[in-house]
Structure 1
Amino acid sequence: MKKLFFALIAMPLFLALTDAFRPEGASHLFLQAAYADDDDSDSADSDSDNDDADDDDDRDDSQSQKANQNNQKNRNTGSVSGPSPLRWLFGGQNRRQQAPASTGLTPPAGPLAQFASSEIIVFNISPQDLQSLLDGGFSVLDERSVSGGTVRSYRLSPPTNTSLQDARDAVRALPSGGNADFNHFYRLDRGDNQCSGQHCAAFALIGWPQQVSELPNRCAIGIRIGMVDTGLNENHSTFDGANLKVLRLADQDRRASKASHGTAVAAILIGQPDTRSPGLLPGSELVAVDAFYRSGRDERADAFTLVEALYTLADEQVSVINLSLSGPENSVLAAAINDIKETRGIALIAAAGNNGPGAAPAYPAAFSGVLGVTAVDRNKRIYRRANRGSYIDLAAPGVNVWSAASVKGAKWKTGTSFAVPFFSAATAIVRQGNPELTVDDVFELLKSKAEDLGEPGADSIFGAGLLSVSTLCEDW
């Protein structure tokens, strides 16, 4: 009887002690083991030499959200809620209840906004139609003029008590307002960051010379590439001696974008040979436009600013524009892209998106005339989060690509974002050696040289296949 009595007393005490020392959100220590999802682990993203001070580079917020969701689930099932058995044993219930300690986690974020909540943008609307909108209660929030005033775009605020849908329809109904649209947001196509292999693996996969000095002179001189991305760290050692120009167009009143994504993409393009993150075309000139800003935890660019960024690069006379970003379809952006391709003869190359095989098409990659690039790993397998669809044109290395980190050193990068620079570099070289070719001709030539992957012929996973540049400067 004594043993039974002590067992009844000891068991609650034992459970209470395990509750007191176990991590919040976990079951009793002796009942459950812990498991980690390595796909999004920050530890995999750290620099192998531990010399990068920016430990948050490319961190996937899904980890924090997942932890919050698990924590909330445990709360709902009662595994962590309610008073501790220790307090029950010693009469703690009668004391004043204390506020729960902070877990250090923020509530799970909801879906990111797809467009600005009260803005309409329109491209090259006539003065007469603009005035009619102003007379009807619209107001101009911002006006941008590029290319010597020949291209004008407007950011408008709808009349009070008018839905955004109705406001867009009203602008589109005007003779020159047909391209009006919401001010959509575009985000960076970075993915999870798994670390393995050597930094030259991506070069070898497509036949790019691992020593860029092996490229014939005509492949490395006079090339001028543009990119629209986040800001970048111009003082990174990978850019020492590089021909780099950075322009910031994002709203100066907003928090500046981080330097992680832009630094990595730029380094893949023009990182210097003797650094830890050598690029594809270190002797080329890169004009980088920062069109991104931060809103809370969201890092984004809006369509209105993207249009200005594209024309800014067009005026810089680049031959190729790298767009390692994606978002929804937008008619104003579509009109600008078509104009830049057709009247300026500039090649635009964009990321396929990292939203998964069942996701809707990602833009601008899905626009007609833009080369949509997906990502593969070193075994030529598709990146697990890559979008799929008929708009996928070609594949390039995009899983565990070695590139510069935002502060110093280098990291492994994964996502369709990091596949785009390989095609931007290849396109720039083809255009440099064959100035008589149109943008479409260049794209078709790249497709004809590709290594077919997946089903025979072009498909919705790999497009025409893997970029192949083994004869990049020999017969192009």
Structure 2
Amino acid sequence: MADAVDPRPKPRQSTSFILASGLSRDDLTKLTAQGFHVETRTQGRITPQVVRLRIPQGASLTQARQKVRLVDAQASADFDHYYYLDEGAGTCTGPDCRATALVNWSASNAAQCGPTPLIGMIDTGINLEHEALKDQAIEVLPAPASHADASLQDHGTAIAALLVGRRGSQTPGLLPDAKLVAVDAFYRDGGTADRTDVMSLVAGVEALAERGVQVMNLSLSGPPNEVLQNAIEAAQAKGIVIVAAAGNNGPGAEPSYPAAYPGVIAVTAVDQELNVYRRATQGGYVDLAAPGVNIWTASSKGSGTLKSGTSYAVPFVSAATSLLLASNPTLDPKVVQSGLEARTRDLGKPGWDPTYGFGLIQVAGLCPQPTKPAPVTASYEQPAALPFAAQTSEVP
């Protein structure tokens, strides 16, 4: 969502399709007889197979969803919602806009944590020929579905560079030696912006889970969706830590998803003065804050550029998550989340709050150094705050 806002509305969902998972072959036969048409299916690798159904002529989306639920009350059925990137333009005027100092990031300390886990991201296309990304350990998986207009490569290139940009380039990444697996799930198709849909996201989550990623960076947001939630929960059950953008819809907006799903680490953005990004969505699901305003990162058609948005805060937490897992690869996602929450600089009201969550992530001490071999959680206490699970998802 750029600061120069496109006045045209962004559609919330497809007007011709709904999604369902958990349907049997007999169920699909019954629905076909009612005028539904199966367009595409997922592989069903980590969650029951999802099918995209073209709704019968003359039926509304709500009517079509109800018809599916009547065929099998145990199946999941929902609209094919759209999800957008959480970005904007940067306006830094200072001599140095890099944000690593805010989170106490040290490349030398990070290198001592151990081999970083495989990181996954679902985003737009990536310019692999960019000087910051060329010859880096990046694997781009095929798009889940073909579309007439491919996504722009700006956002994906910027996020990838923040994560694994080449050391010595103009836009070095937080973990230049890490391996990254990316899924280009976005497209334009004549729309007002790059967007993806539930079917593409589920396919992307399944593909990354099959590749064995331990951390999943989702710099995107949209509405709640039952089918997507099932896929997120299935990934979490496989031990994958999911980090997502809190959203750029403003402090009074509804919660953004998948960030607001239980167990997903929701990241908001702050500027150099530790003020929250003016467009950041706030609420009971916000977990951590990270630099996300005037972030210097790679531009797909140039060397570097300044970007703002909760999208650009997510890689800082994904990288911190990777460091925690580097020295403790068997940690459960819930333990990882608690470990990150315990290493923050409190911002805003004391303790947890709906603007900054538990506070600004701090990297120092995330993994034991050679002179301090104690477990990472041994010398830290949880900040005085309400338990995350007890937070309400209502916007104050």
The answer to whether TM tops 0.5 is yes
Distance 2:29 2:300 in 1: 46
Give 1:400's aligned residue: 294
Q: What does 1:54-453 correspond to in 2, within 5 Å?
A: 60-62=3-5, 108-109=7-8, 111-147=9-45, 151-175=48-72, 178-198=75-95, 201-209=98-106, 212-219=107-114, 221-296=115-190, 297-342=192-237, 344-453=238-347
Counterparts of 2:116 and 2:267, CA distance in 1: 25
Higher radius of gyration, 1 or 2? 1
Match of 2:350 in 1: 456
Letter of the 2:141 counterpart: L
| 8 Å contact kept, 2:35–2:57 | yes
Whole-Å Cα distance in 2 between the matches of residues 347 and 192 of structure 1?
28
Q: Specify whether residues 199 and 226 from structure 1 end up closer, same or farther in structure 2 by C-alpha distance, changes over 3 A only.
A: farther
Contact 1:216–1:473 (CA under 8 A) maintained in structure 2: no
TM-score by length of 2: 0.89
3-state secondary structure, aligned to 1:245: strand
**8 Å CA contact retained: 1:354, 1:386:** yes
What amino acid does structure 2 have at the position aligned with 1:309?
A: G
Between the aligned partners of 1:197 and 1:124, the Cα distance in structure 2 is 54
Q: Is the 8 A contact 2:185 2:201 kept in 1?
A: yes
Task: Find the residue that maps to 2:113 and give its secondary structure.
Answer: helix
Q: Which has the higher helix share?
A: 1
How many angstroms does 1:441 deviate by?
A: 0.6
What is the rounded CA distance, in whole Å, between the counterparts of 2:37 and 2:261 in structure 1? Answer: 30
Q: How far apart, in 1, do the equivalents of 2:147 and 2:179 lie?
A: 29
1:230 counterpart letter in structure 2: T
Partner SS for 2:242: strand
| Percentage of matched positions with identical amino acids | 44
The verdict on how the C-alpha distance between 1:176 and 1:125 changes in structure 2, with shifts beyond 3 A counting, is farther
Give the C-alpha shift of residue 264 in structure 1. Answer: 0.3
| Cα distance in 1, alignment partners of residues 95 and 67 from structure 2 | 55
**Residues 61 and 201 of structure 1, relative CA distance in 2, 3 Å threshold:** closer
**Match for 2:288: what amino acid?**
L
User: Equivalents in 2 of 1:236, 1:335: separation in Å?
Assistant: 36
Return 352-361 or 251-260, whichever deviates more: 251-260
User: Offset at 1:240?
Assistant: 2.8
AA in 1 matched with 2:101: A
Matched-pair contact (CA < 8 Å) for 1:250–1:292: no
Closer/same/farther in 2, CA of residues 151 and 239 from structure 1, 3 Å limit: same
Q: Are the aligned partners of 1:250 and 1:301 in contact in 2 as well (CA < 8 Å)?
A: no
Hey, what's the Cα distance between the residues in 2 that align with 1:156 and 1:471?
49
Cα distance in structure 1, aligned partners of 2:260 and 2:219? 13
Q: Which residue of 2 aligns with 1:21?
A: none
Amino acid at match of 2:193: D
Deviation digits for residues 241-271 of structure 1 (CA, Å, limit 9, x no counterpart): 3100012325323201000000000000000
Q: Which has the higher contact order (CA 8 A, sep 6+)?
A: 2
Distance 2:365 2:312 in 1: 22
The amino acid that maps onto 2:127 is N
**TM-score (norm. length: structure 1):** 0.75
Q: CA deviation at 1:361?
A: 0.6
1:121 and 1:407 map into 2 onto residues whose CA distance is 36
Mapped partners of 2:203, 2:247: distance in 1 = 22
8 Å Cα contact 2:90-2:295 kept in structure 1: no
Report the 3-state secondary structure (helix = DSSP H, G, I; strand = E; otherwise coil) of the residue aligned with 1:182.
strand
CA offset at residue 428 of structure 1? Answer: 1.3
Number of aligned residues: 369
Read off the aligned partner of 1:268 and give its amino acid letter. Answer: L
Residue ranges of structure 2 left out of the alignment (5+ in a row): 369-374, 377-396
Aligned equivalents of 1:177, 1:294: Cα separation in 2: 34
Change (3 A) 1:386 1:222: closer
Q: Secondary structure at the match of 2:361?
A: coil
What stretches of structure 1 of length at least 5 have no aligned partner? 1-57, 66-107
Which residue in the other structure is 2:390 paired with? Answer: none
Q: Using a 3 Å threshold, how does the CA distance of structure 1 residues 447 and 222 change in structure 2: closer, same or farther? A: closer
